Structure 1
Amino acid sequence: MKVCVIGGGAAGLTALRHLSSSAGITPTLYEQSEHVGGVWGYTDKTGEDERTGDEIHTVMYRDLKTNLPKEIMGFLDFPFHKGKTSFVSHEQVNQYLHEYADHFQLRSSIQFNHRVVHVTPHLAEYDSENNPSPKWLVSVKDLQLGKEEIEEFDSVMVCNGHFCKPFIPDIVNIQVFQGEVLHSRDYRSPEIFANKRVVVLGCGPSGVDISLEIAQVATEVIISFRNPPLESSFPANVRQAFSIKSGKSNGFIFEDNQECDCDVLLLCTGYKYDFPFLDQQCGVIVEKGKQVTPLYKHMIHTKYPTLCFVGIPFHVLPFYLFEVQVRYFVKYLEGNLRLPTESQMNTDLLEDRNLRQRMGLPLSQSHHLGPMQWEYYHFLAQHAGFPLELKPVVRKIYEEAGDRRRLFASFYKNDMVRILDDENYIYDSSSVTLSSQLSLFRSGRELQDHQMTSKVYPGMTWPVKHM
């Protein structure tokens, strides 16, 4: 069986690793850049990629650190190296992925500088469950030679990520704003915002992180989002505001009719799912850039189950998600997993959507997992017949790191985590928090309306706030 893997980031590499370990499967991974790592490969460049004609395929900024500790970030069979920090830089993650590729000897199955330009189903047959099982024609362009060839595969795994095509919201009268507008995709470092007033639209992890970076040089940073305030403490030159209602020549009007003047609008509004290489015959619909359908369990095409998408869900343990999804799908390719019928998979998909509607989740949250991820992992492992291998301590650390990120956005990336055993860990935040506070506010800025101290709990140290 020949399997095409699209993309050489973390999802594609773990797909290649498990496909290569399966007898009877011959995988080929196509990566349009010269190296593995995908989105973790940093470049100072922004704008158009001269080689592909598309936007530069990275969203890393210079000083980015992970928002999860490395102790729970890595693949189960290849942990991160121990070190002095838990929240690591993008360079360290990229190096980790290179080491992963070398450890499992994956490079011989990777076609670098090859871009998948077209995928279409061909010669549909039916499997033992009466599901359509086509061959897949994959057009690939050699970016060095400029040549395009067509290869036939039995299965396609789409691992191209979803941090490439920016989501640009519609803002009333944005055209009258005389300042600069850019998306976080093109953010690299804070220096260009020195002495400027900046509105940051969006308060996800990247929006908050970038706001804190910019605040070190900007005159003022205003974080604009639906339901302020965030619980976290911020520097004195950072304030919060409701979503933008409309633009004006020198700034913006917010939903509560408050106004601000500013020099720059930075859109931290996320990204769209985008699969420009998929032919219309693939039957994949991306609704408003936020909902990919028809996917069973957010990954397997319900009509063409040999077409698989790895990494669609978000608010997850990403590398672990990739690994569990891949292992599930490989079991199917091996013939060791019986999928439901197309009708049954579509019913499951509809039930998932109905559940999200009852939860009040908008379309943009169609693939949000969050606290639902643990049950999701358990389902995939149980039904495919492989051990879950996720220790209870991982979930505990994940949830505590989330609390720390929500309450102490300025400091949590200096926290240290040490796993003691399958159940217990030490989460140390005291000493680094105090030093970071001095560093961040060395210019005389103070925490807004809060004084920080520390309180000791068994196995951890938490800063707590006094109102």
Structure 2
Amino acid sequence: MRVSIGAGGRVAVIGAGAAGLCSAKNLRDFGSSFKVVVFERGSRVGGAWRYSDKTGSFAVMYKSLRTNIPKEVMAFPGFPFADELPSFPGHSDVQTYLESYATEMDLHPMIRFNAHVEKVWKDESGSSWWVKSSDTMNYEGSVEEFDAVLVCNGHHGLPVYASVDGLDTFTGITTHSSVYRTPTPFRDQTVVLLGYGPSGVDIGIDIARGGAKQVLVAHRGYVQDEGSLPNLSFRPTMVRVEGSTIHFADGRTVDADQVVLCTGYAYDFPFLDPEIGVTVRNQVISKLYRHLVFTKDPTLSFVGIPQKIVPFPFFHYQSVYVAKYLSGEVDLASEEERENELNEEWKIHGDKADRFFHVFGPRQWEYMHSLAQQTEQTPMPRALQGVFENTAAIRKANPLSYRARQYEVFGEGETDWSYMLVDPV
């Protein structure tokens, strides 16, 4: 099936984070002279990588954050991070990298800053998309017509708050990791963190190192008590709160001063007209072929939905695919075939489909390889997969010191897995 919006088609990209920037570049480079407009509600590129001391300012980074994926794996194809940076750079280094990418790729002419997208809908004829936006500086609004829309607003916009019996009665302070910036407010206090994802572990370590009296990280996958710091330990998940007392699943309790919910974020597209038919339930976005293309209408796509991936290369392969099928250069499965493939994938996941449907992990490699083959792009070198998997294993075994590792990659192509630990720990 050929889907082409024609030469000179107008394409709206929502968001100028890593996914939006990459999509804009590839729509320009691989599309049919598309006219691309990127709507960015902030005043600069970077998306979630923009740091601010202020909470509620679209920022979710904390001050000490460093990547948990090596820069050697994380970079866009053909655009490496600076050589002098460590393998695990800080958030400001990634922000600088994305700003450099936007400049070097000449993306700024396509970006409208301070442009808040209020509504996206399809007209009655079904032939055009309409985007209503407003300038956040002068509040002037506009409505524009487009042939296709790429949603690239990330998935850090809507914090998820865990449901724990009695948590609303906790006499201490409850916050979400999205507002965490520094460990200073937790000094000399007993702190319980709920959640064992990257933010839960890293923030727990940060608070412990920052002088907290006691830090307990509670999670469903609990396997041990002690952490690598004298004031850091682990517990089974929280089951009940009574006043200041936190009850854990194994019957133990602790009196806490603060609780930090490291419970992630929900996908959120408040600007999409409900009539379009995109819904989110249990962390699953409905009707997404290849976790990317809206099954009912392939002129709507969502770049960067999957989790536990190497984000920037992943965005690259996804957006090249979208650009090429919108230009008619790459065939797209029919709607029936898209629905069937989606249903088959759902069956494979079985009981774990809810919540984990968009969580990729090991299956990301075949996914990217398939898109690369279909779009005639160079596949991701296997050596980068080796670095990623090595990092994952060491991060789990030693979350305090794995970032001291420095990698150097030699392997190219699909058979050479060569890389070296320059400074192994």
With the length of structure 1 as denominator, give the TM-score of the two structures: 0.86
Q: CA deviation at 1:387?
A: 2.4
Q: CA deviation at 1:361?
A: 2.1
Distance 1:231 1:249 in 2: 24
The 5 A counterparts of 1:7-22 are 7-21=15-29, 22=31
Distance 2:236 2:227 in 1: 17
Q: CA deviation at 1:84?
A: 4.7
Q: CA deviation at 1:255?
A: 1.5
Aligned counterpart, 2:174: 181
Distance 1:230 1:138, change over 3 A: farther
Mapped pair 1:274 → 2:253: no
Mapped pair 1:329 → 2:322: yes
The 5 A counterparts of 1:286-297 are 286-288=280-282, 290-297=283-290
Aligned counterpart, 2:123: 122
Instruction: Give the paired residue count.
Output: 411
Mapped pair 1:26 → 2:35: yes
Deviates more, 1:343-352 or 1:197-206: 343-352
Aligned counterpart, 1:42: 51
Q: 1:7, 1:159 within 8 Å by CA — same for their partners in 2?
A: yes
Q: 1:233, 1:410 within 8 Å by CA — same for their partners in 2?
A: no
For structure 2, the 5+ residue unaligned runs are 1-8
The 5 A counterparts of 1:303-452 are 303-357=296-350, 360-361=351-352, 363-383=354-374, 385-422=375-412, 423-430=417-424, 433=425
Mapped pair 1:199 → 2:192: yes
Aligned counterpart, 1:137: 130
Distance 2:121 2:280 in 1: 17
Mapped pair 1:2 → 2:10: yes
Q: CA deviation at 1:23?
A: 3.4
Distance 1:255 1:354 in 2: 31
Equivalent position amino acid for 1:181 in 2: T
Deviates more, 1:196-205 or 1:116-125: 116-125
Equivalent position amino acid for 1:40 in 2: W
Deviates more, 1:22-31 or 1:10-19: 22-31
Equivalent position amino acid for 1:413 in 2: R
Q: CA deviation at 1:123?
A: 4.2
Deviations 1:327-378 (Å, cap 9, x if unpaired)? 1111111101221121211111111111111xx5251111011001111112
Deviates more, 1:400-409 or 1:228-237: 228-237
SS at 1:223 equivalent: strand
Aligned counterpart, 1:222: 216
Q: CA deviation at 1:116?
A: 0.6
SS at 1:361 equivalent: helix
Distance 1:101 1:188 in 2: 27
Distance 1:13 1:232 in 2: 42
Q: 2:304, 2:314 within 8 Å by CA — same for their partners in 1?
A: yes
Q: CA deviation at 1:382?
A: 2.3
Aligned counterpart, 1:100: 101
SS at 1:65 equivalent: coil
Q: CA deviation at 1:426?
A: 1.1
Distance 2:348 2:114 in 1: 42
Equivalent position amino acid for 1:212 in 2: I
Mapped pair 1:284 → 2:278: yes
Q: Does 1 or 2 have the higher relative contact order (CA < 8 Å, sep 6+)?
A: 2
Distance 1:319 1:220, change over 3 A: same
Q: CA deviation at 1:24?
A: 2.3
Aligned counterpart, 1:449: none
For structure 1, the 5+ residue unaligned runs are 48-55, 126-133, 434-467
SS at 2:352 equivalent: coil
Distance 2:226 2:387 in 1: 19
Distance 1:72 1:252, change over 3 A: same
Deviations 1:136-194 (Å, cap 9, x if unpaired)? 01001011121111000000000000011100111101122100000000000111100
SS at 1:308 equivalent: strand
Distance 1:13 1:24 in 2: 17
Q: 1:171, 1:244 within 8 Å by CA — same for their partners in 2?
A: yes
Distance 2:194 2:152 in 1: 28
Q: CA deviation at 1:418?
A: 1.1
Distance 1:237 1:211 in 2: 10
Distance 1:232 1:310 in 2: 39
SS at 1:46 equivalent: coil
Q: CA deviation at 1:124?
A: 3.8
Which consecutive aligned stretches of 4+ in structure 1 deviate over 4 angstroms post-superposition? Answer: 230-233
Q: 1:33, 1:114 within 8 Å by CA — same for their partners in 2?
A: yes
Aligned counterpart, 1:300: 293
Deviations 1:199-241 (Å, cap 9, x if unpaired)? 0000001110000000011011111000212699521211111
Deviations 1:267-295 (Å, cap 9, x if unpaired)? 0000000000000111101003x111110
> What is the RMSD computed on CA atoms of the aligned residues?
1.4
Q: 1:65, 1:90 within 8 Å by CA — same for their partners in 2?
A: yes
Distance 2:422 2:307 in 1: 27
Aligned counterpart, 1:437: none
With the length of structure 2 as denominator, give the TM-score of the two structures: 0.94
Q: CA deviation at 1:196?
A: 0.4
Q: 1:58, 1:164 within 8 Å by CA — same for their partners in 2?
A: no
